[in-house]
Amino acid sequence: MQRYFTDIYKDNKFELSYDDIFHITKVMRMKKGERIEVIYKNELYITKITSLDPLEVEIIEKKDTYNELDIKVTICQSLVKEAKMDLVLEKSTELGAYSFIPLITRNSIIKLDKKEKEKKVIRWQKIVKEASEQSKRNIIPKVLEIKEIKDILNLNYDLKILLSVNEVSTSLKNVLQNHRRCDKIIIVIGPEGGFKKDEEDYLIEHGFIRTSLGSRVLRTETASIAALSMINYEYER
């Protein structure tokens, strides 16, 4: 059953977006009587299509299903090439990320002006929405505006992790096991060329824990997948 999100419930009816209506009627070619899942205010409703033009759905039942991690994980991903960024957003959403912060670092090869940044965030949010629907999430993670390192130093998180290939890094497994009681985690991931030493040191000075994913060096687009997989293992019920 296809899942869609909406923020609008008016006159006892859910209102879906233009893109979702197009997907239902033109891509999936659904017919009257078929059922779809609608998420409204993080809650799941099973609905039946009662009209196609205009599209209208009728609530069949509300289901008590919540497919979210108990812990809120923000992936702070340094800007990388488009295909890699798309992969990070899609797979991290599937694995339960709560939000994303795109990050500009000195080794970031992607340079964007203000208008390009705004377009990118809109595009990334669409990718996250589609991944949320596919993976049966109850929420759509938020893609925040693109930030620089100085902008993330004092953000309020219970656990602040910097993924690093530095030999003195503590393993992520040990860090997670030593922080069992936390509600919000931020994970900072560098670009293809890694962080500059002073960038890492700056983050460490502001409470980030230099952390390793193991003895092998992973590509930047793999790091969030590995980290979230470990978090799922440690924290998911």
Q: Is the pLDDT of residue 167 over 80?
A: no
pLDDT at residue 237, as a whole number: 61
* Tens of pLDDT, residues 203-224: 999 999 999 888 787 899 999 9
Which residues, other chains included, contact 190 with Cβ-Cβ below 8 Å and sequence gap of 6+?
78, 105, 107, 163, 164, 220
Strand 159-163 and strand 142-143: pairing? Answer: unpaired
Rounded average pLDDT over 68-93: 96
Contact status, residue 182 vs residue 156, Cβ threshold 8 Å: no
Q: How confident is the model at residue 185 (pLDDT cuts 50, 70, 90)?
A: very high
Contact status, residue 212 vs residue 170, Cβ threshold 8 Å: yes
* Tens of pLDDT, residues 168-184: 778 999 999 988 888 99
pLDDT at residue 215, as a whole number: 78
pTM of the predicted protein model = 0.93
* Tens of pLDDT, residues 23-70: 999 999 999 999 999 999 999 999 999 999 999 999 999 999 898 999
Q: Is the pLDDT of residue 236 over 80?
A: no
Domains of the chain plus CATH, in order, are: 3-63 (2.40.240.20), 72-235 (3.40.1280.10)
- Mean residue pLDDT across the chain: 93
Give Cα 14 to chain centroid, integer Å: 25
Which amino acid appears at position 4 of this protein?
Y
Query: What is the rounded distance in angstroms from the CA atom of residue 83 to the CA atom of residue 85?
Result: 6
Query: What is the rounded distance in angstroms from the CA atom of residue 2 to the CA atom of residue 17?
Result: 15
- Burial code (b: 16+ CB inside 10 Å, e: under 16) for 120-150 equals bbeebbebbbbbbbeeebbbbbebbebeebe
Closest CA to 87 of 221, 188, 194, 232: 221
Query: What is the rounded distance in angstroms from the CA atom of residue 132 to the CA atom of residue 95?
Result: 10
